[in-house]
Structure 1
């Protein structure tokens, strides 16, 4: 029977970290994840049923994965067995099975919670399968990584994936007030509150640790202000402004330095971003955008090199992998620039939005069945490989009745010089074959 008032565990003592003291003991105390916990939503239904299903909780740090698993065990009156995958192995899995069997003998259900389940290898993950199948315990895994890649398909097929989101600024503000009350702390200035929420970046644990540090450092004061916050967090606060105005200004400066072919400025802004605590993976994604938007076909190698840099970072991590990002930044800055494809793409999208839905000409349609052939699908299509120079000169590949368009206009830089020459030759041949020249 569902009982939202059933505690998952006794409240920890005053010496415990604030994040542990404020860990929700009931579902109504949980802040955030309304898409899963509001009435009628998937996890709320699982709680209310009293018979929870096996699941994977996927989300960034500090969003409540462990808390929800504990609450689930408390409400279901189940034995709560925790395995930390970063330290655990098959021995821990066997011990968990033994505890679950003992609980079953005593008439209790069990929930086995595996924190950072993505750190278990395939064999370790497979060890859970027969026991999940037999119903010995409910499996709950927590991961910050995409389960599609990090959890093997057999285990994934037996568990429902629930995606947890970072806490919103409003939710963090609510948690901040709860923390201030628990610490009997003075109010915060508006600037300090905004800095704290930006610093937390959706992570409840990060926020609570910061608030606790601030209150203990400030002592007895009337208001907790921004200066006290900087003193309490110091380097950590300076280094992490993700999501704030400075963050977006800095990525803008990096992008413009690359576009402006200034490798020194681009390296400076890259270091500023990494020093500021920005996730290098985010930087890698931005480099891919720059390669596509600002370099394009003037140097197609730029996109490949950016992808390689992203992969190198994934393999090496920080700080070694950051050198690959620096190499990509310098290459992008020095590469010839073209936004011709970027403009062509936007123009084509705008045209399609404004234009009606034109039918595909019969000659361009595929004809895999006899009926389609009888309906003239594919009739009259000219196979380019059988034409002189591999070009069906004069053929039209746009819908019938649609005016000719020229979305793509190469620039006179890099490889696009040769592309422009080839495109001009093809357009002249087509015009001549159609009698337009």
Structure 2
């Protein structure tokens, strides 16, 4: 195996690296892929390796699984990091693959960590060598491949989704690390209380690397034969944050969950996802801005007070900060979840924008134009305009406000909930006045 960025061996290899399993039986988690009869397990047993992409959160075994596949296939393993590598390193990997094929007939697996960091040109650089069989490609990413990887690459590789490790898998890894005398901490004869073990597993949040790193730090602070307790673990976890990448998949997944919980009128789930985002370090002002969007998109005129409340919460966060501002945002989110829902304005706005984009620049009709000069009046600007305030009921029944070349449209369709129930009734009454006015264009839409 070879790492194009490897230097001299580190004097102390981290516990997480030492505890990498050397067989599939020692691999923890991902039973949906590696359990009996599951797709990746079958491919391994049949020797039918193929190019693949491992997509999953940090610390779930993407690199470890790639190394295991290379061992089981007796393949030469080359690993590069997309953070550091470029086209030059890809060419070096291709040269190595050709040398090994010529000398030993062995296949080469090119493992690209954080492959989503490669730009299009870099992703394209190794495609020909995957296509002709020079390399077997395995990529690892924490980001959604559909958004981050080229279609050409996706079409040549099968995507496998790796999941965060469950408590059972993490417990198994922790026990192995404590008892393994060759690679783990067994020579230190450390114990751990049940409560401390549970807290560490919870804090790992599905991330094996995080769990083993925390365990190693705890071990460094203990004398041989000691027992890791709750007090020590509490000191280690001061200000610990659960998994939340401010620019990545977890961020947008949690924001989506919050928005959909509000839209679904579930205040409890809305508060949960709001708390998760704060706990992960999300800027409350970002959530406040998104709440304003929700107020317009999902509540709209069914309850116009929602927009005002969200703007007020945003203002409180800017003026007072934490924790007063965060509580005000929580109040706004609960109000949004409980408010009557309408996306009528949102839908109408999108329809109007589509019409504008698909039509030429249509001029306002003459009667709607201002006539501040004599010439404009002579040209007919403002003629025959009906001032609504001077009309019966303050409404110019039958008046047409669309460009002459465009048939009147109906973009806004109020729902039968909240204030929009009343708005809908008002619009229906006005349409009845239009129908009685004799204006054919307005009658057709009434």
1:8 and 1:287 map into 2 onto residues whose CA distance is 49
With structure 2 as the length reference, what TM-score do the two structures score? Answer: 0.60
Q: Could you tell which deviates more after superposition, 82-91 or 174-183?
A: 174-183
CA contact (8 A) 1:199 1:241 kept: no
The answer for the alignment partner of 2:339 in structure 1 is: 339
The C-alpha deviation readout for 1:13-40, integer Å capped at 9, x for no partner, is 9931110111011111000000110122
Return closer, same or farther for 1:52/1:204 CA change in 2, 3 Å cut-off. Answer: same
CA contact (8 A) 2:191 2:227 kept: yes
Structure 1 residue 170: Cα displacement: 1.6
1:241 and 1:65 map into 2 onto residues whose CA distance is 17
| SS at structure 2 position matched to 1:341 | coil
The answer for the alignment partner of 1:353 in structure 2 is: none
The C-alpha deviation readout for 1:76-104, integer Å capped at 9, x for no partner, is 11111111001110001110110011011
Match of 1:129 among 111, 127, 137: 127
Structure 1 residue 220: Cα displacement: 4.7
1:40 and 1:334 map into 2 onto residues whose CA distance is 46
Return closer, same or farther for 1:420/1:63 CA change in 2, 3 Å cut-off. Answer: farther
2:424 and 2:202 map into 1 onto residues whose CA distance is 46
| SS at structure 1 position matched to 2:418 | coil
Alignment of 1:178 onto 2:185: no
The answer for the alignment partner of 1:223 in structure 2 is: 227
Structure 1 residue 191: Cα displacement: 2.6
The answer for the alignment partner of 1:235 in structure 2 is: 239
The C-alpha deviation readout for 1:114-159, integer Å capped at 9, x for no partner, is 1111100111101111111111110111111111111101111011
Return closer, same or farther for 1:156/1:336 CA change in 2, 3 Å cut-off. Answer: closer
Alignment of 1:114 onto 2:119: no
Match of 1:411 among 407, 410, 418: 418
CA contact (8 A) 2:191 2:228 kept: yes
CA contact (8 A) 1:166 1:202 kept: yes
Alignment of 1:149 onto 2:147: yes
CA contact (8 A) 2:174 2:212 kept: yes
| SS at structure 2 position matched to 1:218 | coil
CA contact (8 A) 1:294 1:337 kept: no
CA contact (8 A) 1:293 1:339 kept: no
Matches within 5 A, 1:280-295: 287=291, 291=295, 295=299
The answer for the alignment partner of 1:187 in structure 2 is: 191
| SS at structure 1 position matched to 2:70 | helix
2:175 and 2:287 map into 1 onto residues whose CA distance is 33
The answer for the alignment partner of 2:318 in structure 1 is: none
- State the number of aligned residues: 321
The answer for the alignment partner of 1:64 in structure 2 is: 61
Alignment of 1:17 onto 2:3: no
The answer for the alignment partner of 1:74 in structure 2 is: 71
Q: Could you tell which deviates more after superposition, 329-338 or 114-123?
A: 329-338
Structure 1 residue 276: Cα displacement: 3.2
The answer for the alignment partner of 1:396 in structure 2 is: none
1:111 and 1:187 map into 2 onto residues whose CA distance is 40
1:71 and 1:47 map into 2 onto residues whose CA distance is 10
CA contact (8 A) 1:186 1:224 kept: yes
| SS at structure 2 position matched to 1:235 | coil
| SS at structure 2 position matched to 1:73 | helix
Alignment of 1:39 onto 2:36: yes
| SS at structure 2 position matched to 1:141 | strand
Return closer, same or farther for 1:84/1:192 CA change in 2, 3 Å cut-off. Answer: same
Matches within 5 A, 1:243-392: 276-278=279-281, 287=291, 291=295, 295-297=299-301, 298-299=303-304, 329=329, 339-341=339-341
CA contact (8 A) 1:340 1:409 kept: no
Structure 1 residue 424: Cα displacement: 7.8
2:163 and 2:101 map into 1 onto residues whose CA distance is 34
With structure 1 as the length reference, what TM-score do the two structures score? Answer: 0.61
The answer for the alignment partner of 1:422 in structure 2 is: 427
Structure 1 residue 232: Cα displacement: 2.9
Return closer, same or farther for 1:332/1:174 CA change in 2, 3 Å cut-off. Answer: same
Give me the CA root mean square deviation.
4.8
| SS at structure 1 position matched to 2:192 | coil
The answer for the alignment partner of 2:49 in structure 1 is: 52
Structure 1 residue 426: Cα displacement: 8.1
Return closer, same or farther for 1:224/1:93 CA change in 2, 3 Å cut-off. Answer: same
Structure 1 residue 240: Cα displacement: 4.1
1:278 and 1:81 map into 2 onto residues whose CA distance is 36
Name which one, 1 or 2, has greater alpha-carbon Rg. 2
Return closer, same or farther for 1:57/1:49 CA change in 2, 3 Å cut-off. Answer: same
Q: Which runs of 5+ in 2 are unaligned?
A: 4-8, 245-253, 266-270, 315-324, 343-406, 435-446
Match of 1:207 among 205, 211, 223: 211
The answer for the alignment partner of 1:196 in structure 2 is: 200
The C-alpha deviation readout for 1:209-247, integer Å capped at 9, x for no partner, is 0111112223356532211101234333xx4499xxxxx
2:422 and 2:338 map into 1 onto residues whose CA distance is 11
The answer for the alignment partner of 2:365 in structure 1 is: none
